[in-house]
Chain A
Amino acid sequence: QVQLQESGPGLVRPSETLSLTCNVSHYSITSGYYWGWVRQTPGKGLEWIANLYHSGNKYYNPSLESRVTISVDTSKNQFSLKMNSVTASDTAVYYCARGAYFMDVWGKGTTVTVSS
């Protein structure tokens, strides 16, 4: 069955760029579905960040759009998230997930702390 696994640094300095990758197993990204990111904080709860389709469509949460880029590498069957100019409020558990509307498969999540 399809599996998603997030990877990336657990600690990011303020004002720097957060970079995460989601590796997809047992399913080809090019076979369909949208793929995206959701984060979770104690204060704001679950927050949808962005999603994309392998052929190019990309969508962003308007509140984050100016700082976020989502991309896909079909040769590696993975997709990525970059968030620049991070602050302490970007400290969260970041999940990658499958789905355009609702998310039916999720990664286990990775904790990212923004701190100097």
Chain B
Amino acid sequence: EIVMTQSPATLALSPGERATLSCRASQSLGGNIAWYQQKPGQAPRLLVYSASTRATGIPDRFSGRGSGTEFTLTISSLQSEDFAVYYCQQYYNWPPMHTFGQGTKLEIK
């Protein structure tokens, strides 16, 4: 099983600041990673897939990059609605055995 490790567990920032969230995979994924945002009481929302492609309707302040085992999600200028939990997910294998990171909680400082 591919293990996804996210860091930090919690990130406290102020609106307008830049956020950088990290995800490390236990083996190379190529670019087969997605990022999700989850707010309390809601389902995860797809932000980025294929490491760097924004999903439909996602603002351009969200950007993903990386390949192999190291990936980042950057939010260029935090808005109040961006404070949430963020998860990475790998989809390297087929037949599928998708796994998620444990999440990074982005909170208001």
Residues of A in contact with B (beta carbons under 8 Å apart):
45-48, 51, 59, 61-62, 95, 97, 100-104, 106-109
CB 8 Å contact bits of B29-61 with A (1 = contact, 0 = none)? 000101000000011111001000001100000
B74 contacts the other chain (CB 8 A) = no
Residues of B within 8 A of A100 (CB): 96
Q: Quick check: B44 and A103 within 8 Å, CB to CB? A: yes
- CA of A56 to CA of B69, assembled, Å: 33
Q: Which secondary structure dominates where chain B touches chain A? A: loop
Residues of B in contact with A (beta carbons under 8 Å apart):
32, 34, 42-46, 49, 55-56, 87, 89, 91, 95-103
Q: Quick check: A104 and B55 within 8 Å, CB to CB? A: yes
Contact of B87 among A46, A61, A109 (CB under 8 A): A46
- Among A59, A97, A102, A109, the most chain B Cβ lie within 10 Å of the Cβ of A102
Q: Quick check: A106 and B32 within 8 Å, CB to CB? A: no
Which A-chain residue is minimally distant from B55 (CB atoms)?
Answer: A104
Residues of B within 8 A of A103 (CB): 34, 44, 46
Q: Quick check: A108 and B32 within 8 Å, CB to CB? A: no
Q: Quick check: B34 and A62 within 8 Å, CB to CB? A: no
- CA of A56 to CA of B32, assembled, Å: 24
Q: Quick check: A45 and B96 within 8 Å, CB to CB? A: no
Known: A45-B87, A45-B102, A100-B96. 8 other contacts (CB 8 A): A45-B100, A45-B101, A46-B44, A46-B87, A97-B43, A102-B34, A104-B55, A104-B56
